[in-house]
Amino acid sequence: MKKSLAIDMGATSIRAILGYIDNGQLITEEVMRFNHEIKDINGRKQWDFDAMISKIENTILKYKDEISTIGVDTWGVDFGLIDKNGLLVYNPTSYRDESCEIGFKSIKEKIDFNKLFENTGNQIMSINTLFQLETVKLTNKAYYEKAEKLLMTPDFINYLLTGKKYGERTICSTSQMFDLEKGEWNKDLVENLGLNKDLLPEIINNKIVIGSTRNSLIDSLRDLDIEVISVASHDTASAVYVTESYNDEDCLFLSSGTWSLIGCCNQKPILTDQAYNYSLTNETGYDNKNMFFKNVTGLYLIEKLRDSLVKEDKSKFSFDEITKLVEKSSISDECIIDVDYDVFTKESDNFIEDLDKYFKEKYNLAIENKKDYFKIIYQSIVANYKEVVKNIESCLGKKFTRIHVMGGGSQSKVLCQMIADKLNIKVIAGPKEATAIGNILAQLEYKNEKENIRKIVTDGFETITYLPNKNN
């Protein structure tokens, strides 16, 4: 049986998942998982694309006889620059590189940020593509001038797989250079800011064929003839596609991974002063739906804490183990941190020391049992969620009664129950691999246009419901 392959690239790991319909059910199989790290290359924090591409290539070759289509999704904002010969002249730099601030400060001098929000709908964040591109222009002028096309990370992977240079709509909508109302690049904005609008590739829709591996730039794949499909290549858009919020504007979504993205689907971008002041964002989802949400720090802090503790006692700290630690912790529910505090969002050699210093300076408090930080981070994340939901409700003039949580955080019982209790809201949790499933769904819909594949897929995964604790 021919299968669809989802290449799902997160900021900390890459997954490859095969999916197909058998007897009216979606069957998935994880066939590759690779934890990747940011490397210091020429003084910049860059993605190790050689390692990533090698893993993707080997996976395709290993399962070549089973695969009929491939779809790629990744995190947002990062990009590579391609020269006129089709060669990569600027390796994708991580959004965590502090050089983004150079472009951010430069653009801030050229345009009022409220105006920038009106033109793009994106939350103003220094990591966004616009600011990164300005940084390249200012600090790597030779690379910038050599460049012929800018390709967002999944578009670059698709280019390697097919030889075709396109920009998929959902990933391009994360760039701060996209007109969400028109569904195309805001080339006037880009040009007025002194950047080269010709760098921006042609925009394509979802659920169409980009090309075939027979035209791949990877030698070993040219012997194959596997179609590469344009899925929603921004991972959030793919994940939201399989949530209840996609069809129900009264249901929130929460993509809980390294980042947390919390919001709702609606028909048109919300470009009000209020939305700008709350640092909310708009991005494009499947079928040109608008996603209105906020990017906030997520399980990245849990990952940093776990990594720090692993160095000390060699434990792995699964979600179940962390749940037990949180349940046993006697630390006060009111003990929280500002999860967006500058120090916490950057790479650090000793995260626990950063936390200790924060509590000493802010509360004059020493946290003796460092594992208590798991509870502190969880309840801090949830406190942030509560504030965001309040702001979204204020912008829309409505109340939400449900939230659909997907991604890694959906597997944490303690986190989901905290959300239900603190937000006083019904929580629907699962699936963990929502992004990959949304990716596969788009491929299956391309291959089976006349069937209600979406219903088969969404009915096929289990969810867990959490209700607010009345005693809370």
Give catalytic residue positions: 235
For strand 227-229 and strand 67-74, is the pairing parallel, antiparallel, or unpaired? parallel
User: Which residues on neighbouring strands pair with residue 90, listed in sequence order?
Assistant: 81
Computed from CA positions of residues 10, 231, 119, 88, in that sequence, does the dihedral angle turn out positive or negative?
A: positive
Distance (Å) of CA 227 to CA 102, 222, 232, 319, 428: 40, 12, 16, 37, 34
Write down the number of H helices and E strands in the chain.
Answer: 17, 22
User: CA 157, CA 163: separation in Å to the nearest integer?
Assistant: 10
Distance (Å) of CA 11 to CA 58, 224, 386, 411: 20, 29, 25, 19
Q: Give 32-72 as a DSSP string.
A: EEEE--EEEETTEEEE-HHHHHHHHHHHHHHTTTTEEEEEE
Q: How many C-beta atoms lie closer than 10 Å to residue 354's C-beta?
A: 17
Q: How many C-beta atoms lie closer than 10 Å to residue 38's C-beta?
A: 18
Residue 228 host element (H or E):
strand 227-229
Phi, psi (degrees; rounded to nearest 5) at 303: -60, -40
First-to-final CA distance of the chain: 50
User: CA 472, CA 463: separation in Å to the nearest integer?
Assistant: 23
Q: Give 274-326 as a DSSP string.
A: HHHHTT-EEEE-GGG-EEEEEEEE-THHHHHHHHHHHHHH-----HHHHHHHH
SS3 content of the chain, % helix, strand, coil (to 5): 40, 25, 35
Closest CA to 93 of 167, 58, 146, 143: 143
3-state SS assignment for residue 256? strand
Assess contact for 297 and 384: CB atoms under 8 A: yes
3-state SS assignment for residue 76? coil
Residue 436 host element (H or E):
helix 434-447
User: CA 141, CA 144: separation in Å to the nearest integer?
Assistant: 5
DSSP 85: T
